[in-house]
Each structure stands twice: as structure tokens, then as C-alpha cells.
Amino acid sequence: MLRIALLALLVGAVASAQAQGTPALQALAAFEPEVRWDETSELTADITCDGRPDHALLGRRDGRVYVGLVVSGRPRPEILSFGVGGGIQDAICAEPAVLSVESLDYDPKKAGGRLDGFRRSKRCKGLRLSGGQCDSIHFFWNHRTKELDWWRL
């Protein structure tokens, strides 16, 4: 019982600390409270191409890496989870994971094929998740499904 009470206190302390962060951090912590969201990783860019800023953060839990996107005007954030380890398509190779903003001014056909819902843009941005020596994971707003999507070579 003491261990359960101590664990509850620790989880409450982490949630309380995250609740004091930025609005994006608060939104992500509300939907995935067990993920440790890294406030220092917060990025701001127009990911959805609606002319309003969106906010992305990197999180970690149980050996997994999370990418959270708080979309302007939407109550529920987009949250995607990735493993850490080589030879897996939906994973980075190693920590430390790095989340960055990238241009969407490219033709995905030249990078490896057609991406349904992808729109090339000089103005709107995508995200890139990297870690280790393998190919990065690239994120874009899927205009067909209206959600965050990803690809890698």
C-alpha cells in the first residue's frame, strides 16, 4: 500500500509540474498524463496550413518516444508513439531523440513514393523526428484524413 501511495504522489507531482507549463504542454499532459513531455522541445509552426500556429512537443514513456501536436482550434491534440531501436519502421534508432521543423517544399515522389493527403508547400511546415544513425521520420498534415501523418524511406 505504501508503494501505491508513493507512486500516486509521484504521478501527481509530475502532472502538477506539467500543468504549470505552456498551454501546449498542459493540453498534451491532460490527454497523455503518463508521458513525460519535454517543454524545452516545444516547436511552433503552421503544420495544418490554416494560417495559425500549431505547437509540437517531444515526450517519453516506457522506452518509447512520443510526438504531440496541439492543433490551433482543436480540443484534442494529435499524439503519435514510436519505438527506439534499429530495424523497425516506426522507430528511431537511438536516443537522444530530436524533434525539428522542416520544409514541405519537396516532391515526395522523389523521396520514395506518393503520399496520400500530402500537399507541397512553401509556407506550411512539417516535422522531423531523428535519433541515431537511421533515416528520420517525417511528419506532415494529411489534408485527406485531417490528422498528423508520417513517412520514412
84 close to 98: Cβ distance less than 8 angstroms: no
pLDDT 10s digits, 83-107: 999 888 999 999 999 999 999 999 8
Q: Can you give the pTM of this predicted structure?
A: 0.85
- pLDDT (0 to 100) of residue 70: 98
Residue 80 to residue 127: CA distance in whole angstroms? 12
CA-wise closest residue to 84 among 134, 119, 143, 49:
134
Give backbone dihedrals phi and psi of 149, rounded to 5 degrees, phi first: -130, 170
Cα separations in angstroms, 75 against 69, 78, 100: 11, 10, 23
| Non-local CB neighbours of 47 within 8 Å, separated by 6+ positions | 54, 56, 69, 71, 124, 125, 126, 127, 139, 140, 141, 148
Locus of grid cell 511552433: 44
Interstrand relation of 91-92 and 78-84 (parallel, antiparallel or unpaired): parallel
Q: Is the pLDDT assigned to residue 111 strictly greater than 90? A: no
